[in-house]
Amino acid sequence: MDYNLKPNWQLTFRAMPGIQDFTSWFDNTGNNIPLFRVNRKRYGDNYVLSLNTAINPTTINELSFGYSAYREGFTILDEGVKRVTYGISFPPLFAINNPTRIPNVSITGFTGIGSGNIGFARTPTFILRENFSKIVGSHTIKTGLYWESMNMNERNSPNDNGSFAFGLSAANPKNSGNPWANALLGNFDAYSEFGPPVQTVY
């Protein structure tokens, strides 16, 4: 959109918003087996407001302010991600965790199961630009200012729901000699668990 405030003042506004919203049985939660769906939303916005001033026939000033942002988040859907659906009730290693999602499972030579975590990321960016141009004889003199502030606001997706690894570890006294059989018997080689999600702003 362009608007002439005065014969020598032109105000310009540009907007380019975008959104992507989709739901899938397979997303970056490690969900290789379709036990639940994941909804992902992505936003990409870009806005610029500019004021161009013709000071005189040989002098031009351009001032603009811009804002852009990428925002992304996903939500885990359906009952297939919940522990109660399968009767899983073992307590977490860390009392601060209160996982309701099923644990991740990896089996050597087979497709694993993962339930990920709800996460998001935001990147608001502000830009200020000032350009000054002056024609002197056969020469053009230009000077200006550029300032940008880029920020990040994100929440990570830690493994606070726990992970079981089934393999062929010789250190496992209950190793059956077959990873799949170990999984059916519950003879896991290792279990790991992290703390709760952390939000980082910088």
Sequence ranges of the domains in the chain = 2-201
Is the Cβ–Cβ distance between 11 and 25 less than 8 Å?
no
pLDDT, tens only, 65-82? 999 998 888 888 888 888
pTM of the model: 0.69
Identify which has the larger pLDDT, 52 or 33.
Answer: 52
As to burial, measured by CB atoms within 10 angstroms (0-12 exposed, 13-18 middle, 19+ buried), residue 138 is exposed
The C-alpha atoms of residue 2 and residue 48 are separated, in whole angstroms, by 12
Q: What is the 3-state secondary structure (H, E, C) of 62-128?
A: EEEEEEEEEEEEEEECCHHHEHHHHCCCCCCCCCCCCCCECCEEEECCCCCECCCCCEEEECCEEEE
pLDDT, tens only, 118-170? 778 888 999 999 999 999 999 999 999 999 999 988 877 777 888 999 998 88
